[in-house]
Structure 1
Amino acid sequence: MNIDIIPIKQLENGGEIMGKILTKIAVVICLLMLPFASAQANERKSYEMPRTEVAPIQESGTDRQYELYIKLPEDYAENTDARYPVIYTTDAEVHMDMLSGSTEFLMPEVIVVGISWQKNLGDERENASRFRDYSFVKHNNAELQERFHFGQASNHLSFIRNQVIKYVETNYRADPDERSYFGYSMGGGFGTFVLLSEPDTFKHYILGSPSRYQRAIDFFDDLEAKTAVQHKGQSANVFVSIGERENQMENMRTLTSLLKRRSGSGVALAGLEIIEDSDHGTAFPETVIRSVKWLAKLNTVTKPYLGQKLPGLTPEAFAPGLVSTDRWEYGGVFSPDMKEFYLLKDDEKEKTSFVVFQYESGEWRESVISQRVGQPFISPDGKTMHLGKRYKERTETGWSEIRNLGGQFEDIRVMRLTASTEGTYYFDEVGTDGDGQIRYSRLVDGKREDPRLASEAINTGTWLAHPFIAPDESYILWDGRREGGFGSSDIYLSFRQKDGSWGDAINLGDKINTDAWEASASVTPDGKYLFFHRMVSEGNVDIFWVDAQIVENLRAQQ
């Protein structure tokens, strides 16, 4: 080894040479330390799913400890006014990864909640508690029954209903009307048990390759028969899947037939989804993707009403700057799924266009459909868009071309036509000099009857127009001029009486009606808000909205 000897005299000449020496030493030390730094950088740690929180939870009345894995949408922190749909899943330890990945792209605005297996069971099998929690009949093998305690699904359901859901909806902005369940294998069987015994637990059910051994089928058949009357009218959407190469296919078809028996009571079964060329294991990933796609089409918006701040009992302009501007906007209506908002809107050249705002991928997007058409109204089932005496029908690819009602309506001038769930039409017959009238036409045994005049309770006054019939026909809204009114046109309300007649007309009052022109009132399909338009100034008509509680308050006074 060669060592350079530096004379002391050189050191005495200044610190320049010493600085060079120290620099060389520092470089050598850094090189020697690199392996240690690299070792520290390579220390392993557990993976954490982004935007996911872990909440310990103990089942009441027991010492059973579980965990909830709660994954939040990317915009959860920013979108503070939104309430989000929730997907609950059992077998969280094996389901969360797939559900997280698929919802990230297919349903980005959803909360995913995984319910773990019991954490303090002490069994050598990590998933041992699922045999107890997800099963609804005892095992016929005494040794296995003694070890795993099969048949306690009802206890686990109570835990989920009374604790898990309550915890999530108390601590997070979860939409209680948009709960979904995902279960696979035994978890799918548990979901079937929930659907038949307490269907209101969730709105949407995904049952992947559910338990279908003969004792399970017999149990479900008996449970469905026992609870059918009790749960009549409780709606739910159901997705069922199975791998093409799985066994007990005939029992699977029996199970879906059993679920179809609930179709008359509000259960909508999407059919049996066959996962091609798949067995019980390989069908799982495809089940996740297909079911989330299905769910995304059903799910509600997280930015309802175009993301606007909700009004109270005092009317406010709807979506200022976006919908309500300094020009004419009128005839605004939502589709039944609340994902589309249609209106007639003037541009800067005072040209009226038929416009729609559509909710896609978490955002509202505006587009022009066509030039001016009749005032839009969408039937309660969402299948028909009425445009006065013309209409469009919903197809797989969108709305059809405009068609004419024809027949009894051919010679009637109609501005607005609305329809009830039973198919009854209420519409205005445009007159001259304010002598228009409100008419109706019922659907009797599948045939459209000739239009008739509504009763005098409605057809009193002048400029009668723009009726809105409630889906259940319990009330009707319209506008016109009457003695004692507030302005050029007021909005009125009448409730259906016990004998089927219409009650006295009720002016909606000075919060709704002013000395200006108010017209075209309707209530949103979810029943929460009343929309109407008002002439704010000459050449400026805006759409307003107000809490629909105003209708219920007047109903309570009857």
Structure 2
Amino acid sequence: MHPLFAVQDNFHYNAAPLDFMHRKRLTILLTFCVSIAIAIAGDKPQLAPEIFAPGIISTDLDESCGCFSPDGQSFYFVRRGAYTTSPPISIICFSDFRGGKWSHPEIASFSGMYLDGSPYFSPDGRRLYFGSKRPAQSSPGGRDWNIWFVERTDTGWGEPKEIGGPINTPKNDTNPAVAADGTFYFASDRDSQPGYLHIYRARLTNGKYQLPEKLGTEINSGDAEINPYITPDQKILLFGSYRKDNLSGGGNHYDRADLYVSVNRDGHWMQARHLEHGINTTASEGNPTMSPDGKWFYFTSERSPFEIPMKEKLTTASWRDRQRAIENGVGNIYRISAEALELNR
């Protein structure tokens, strides 16, 4: 029996008339305390991922690579097409927060013709960086990833421009991330085999980017690292990695990433830590970002309800319904309280 009901039963059957009011006050007090505790617990962010803007931003299509404008009023992300086209196409979309809800996404003015990805706002919101396989000076045929940017105008965005050297090279350079002082983080395979990216950093000095440096073994492993997100003060680095030692178990193997965090203490990066609380699964996770107020952590996941063997035999209707559901095995954007990052560990 619940303790609250036990108190009520006790005074109802056994209380003397003189202490009835005392017991009644005690019951009211306990009821009040329980109500407050429930209310407080209900207000606490739950440490379990939830789909972000279901049916609007996260749909049965393939979404990834989300980022917020600094004021939190716009959300840019990527929708990917079929991988059977060569090269495949992915588009950068945006949604605005209006009247208490997110608007239906539209394709950004600078996207829609090439393989574009990884949008990332400058801290002042005046620039939006992104990766693209469009023709570039370092890759005229558009065969490799390069980093581009657009600048705010009075009517929207200007024409895309290459960021140029020493960040862009004839190799793959993508996944831009910018700190408040202009320090530029990105992923590149310039010193490794094609497609085997690692995270680099280029400092901005007197308006010019210095030669990029590869981050140390606290961040970069013997496997590939992608999708850096850096806080404006460069105290927290979130990223994806294909390292095999920490991939969540279960399921059949396919090339996939998990998410990691490293904290900068006294100018040194701590050993990257595999994220918990249901962030990483047997599916692929990547593209980390934070809400502008730092309260929420967002990421991409390809999780789905399909596990072999299935708990129940699929029917024609259940197969169709699961394929049309939001969580159907292609990318969606999720969020979880930033408490799940456990940054004080």
TM-score scaled by structure 2?
A: 0.66
Question: Given the alignment, which residue of 297, 320, 328 partners 2:62?
Answer: 328
Query: Which position in structure 2 is the counterpart of 1:202?
Result: none
Q: What are the superposed Cα offsets for residues 126-156 of structure 1, whole Å, 9 maximum, x if unpaired?
A: xxxxxxxxxxxxxxxxxxxxxxxxxxxxxxx
Specify every segment of 5 or more residues in structure 2 that has no aligned partner in the other structure, as ranges.
1-42, 132-146, 250-255, 305-327
Aligned-partner Cα distance in 1 for 2:340–2:100 = 30
- Which of structures 1 and 2 has the bigger CA Rg? 1
* 1:346 positional shift: 4.1
Q: What are the superposed Cα offsets for residues 244-272 of structure 1, whole Å, 9 maximum, x if unpaired?
A: xxxxxxxxxxxxxxxxxxxxxxxxxxxxx
Q: Which secondary structure state, in structure 2, belongs to the residue aligned with residue 536 of structure 1?
A: coil
Indicate whether 1:382 and 2:172 are aligned.
no
Indicate whether 1:466 and 2:227 are aligned.
yes
Please give the residue correspondences for 1:287-326 in structure 2 after superposition, counting only pairs within 5 Å.
312-326=46-60
Question: Given the alignment, which residue of 172, 179, 194 partners 1:413?
Answer: 172
Specify every segment of 5 or more residues in structure 1 that has no aligned partner in the other structure, as ranges.
1-308
The higher-RCO structure (CA 8 Å, 6+ apart) is 2
* 1:347 positional shift: 6.7
Query: Which position in structure 2 is the counterpart of 1:368?
Result: 107
Verify the 8 A CA contact 2:187 2:197 in the aligned structure 1.
yes
Aligned-partner Cα distance in 2 for 1:362–1:490 = 32
Query: Which position in structure 1 is the counterpart of 2:298?
Result: 531
Verify the 8 A CA contact 2:90 2:117 in the aligned structure 1.
no
* 1:402 positional shift: 0.6
Query: Which position in structure 2 is the counterpart of 1:548?
Result: 338
Indicate whether 1:340 and 2:74 are aligned.
yes
Aligned-partner Cα distance in 1 for 2:102–2:196 = 40
Q: Which secondary structure state, in structure 1, belongs to the residue aligned with residue 219 of structure 2?
A: coil
* 1:467 positional shift: 0.6
Q: What are the superposed Cα offsets for residues 423-457 of structure 1, whole Å, 9 maximum, x if unpaired?
A: 11111014647632110001123321111101110
Aligned-partner Cα distance in 1 for 2:288–2:101 = 26
Query: Which position in structure 2 is the counterpart of 1:79?
Result: none
- The letter for the 1-side match of 2:263 is F
Q: Which secondary structure state, in structure 1, belongs to the residue aligned with residue 343 of structure 2?
A: helix
Query: Which position in structure 2 is the counterpart of 1:354?
Result: 92
* 1:506 positional shift: 0.8
Aligned-partner Cα distance in 2 for 1:549–1:383 = 30
Verify the 8 A CA contact 2:92 2:117 in the aligned structure 1.
no
* 1:555 positional shift: 2.3
Indicate whether 1:484 and 2:246 are aligned.
yes
Indicate whether 1:393 and 2:151 are aligned.
yes
Please give the residue correspondences for 1:29-178 in structure 2 after superposition, counting only pairs within 5 Å.
none
Verify the 8 A CA contact 1:477 1:492 in the aligned structure 2.
yes
- The letter for the 1-side match of 2:66 is G
Verify the 8 A CA contact 1:479 1:491 in the aligned structure 2.
yes
Verify the 8 A CA contact 1:461 1:480 in the aligned structure 2.
no
Q: Which secondary structure state, in structure 2, belongs to the residue aligned with residue 323 of structure 1?
A: coil
Question: Given the alignment, which residue of 477, 484, 494 partners 2:262?
Answer: 494
TM-score scaled by structure 1?
A: 0.41
Aligned-partner Cα distance in 2 for 1:435–1:455 = 16
Flag the 1:333–1:311 CA change in 2: closer, same or farther, 3 A: farther
- The letter for the 1-side match of 2:154 is E
Aligned-partner Cα distance in 1 for 2:292–2:222 = 29
RMSD over equivalenced CA pairs, Å: 2.5
Verify the 8 A CA contact 1:380 1:525 in the aligned structure 2.
no
Aligned-partner Cα distance in 1 for 2:280–2:236 = 19
Verify the 8 A CA contact 1:427 1:467 in the aligned structure 2.
yes
Q: Which secondary structure state, in structure 1, belongs to the residue aligned with residue 166 of structure 2?
A: helix
Aligned-partner Cα distance in 2 for 1:409–1:385 = 16
Q: What are the superposed Cα offsets for residues 270-305 of structure 1, whole Å, 9 maximum, x if unpaired?
A: xxxxxxxxxxxxxxxxxxxxxxxxxxxxxxxxxxxx
Flag the 1:434–1:398 CA change in 2: closer, same or farther, 3 A: closer
Question: Given the alignment, which residue of 198, 201, 210 partners 1:449?
Answer: 210
Aligned-partner Cα distance in 1 for 2:261–2:46 = 19
Question: Given the alignment, which residue of 510, 515, 518 partners 2:282?
Answer: 515
- The letter for the 1-side match of 2:331 is V
Aligned-partner Cα distance in 1 for 2:239–2:187 = 9
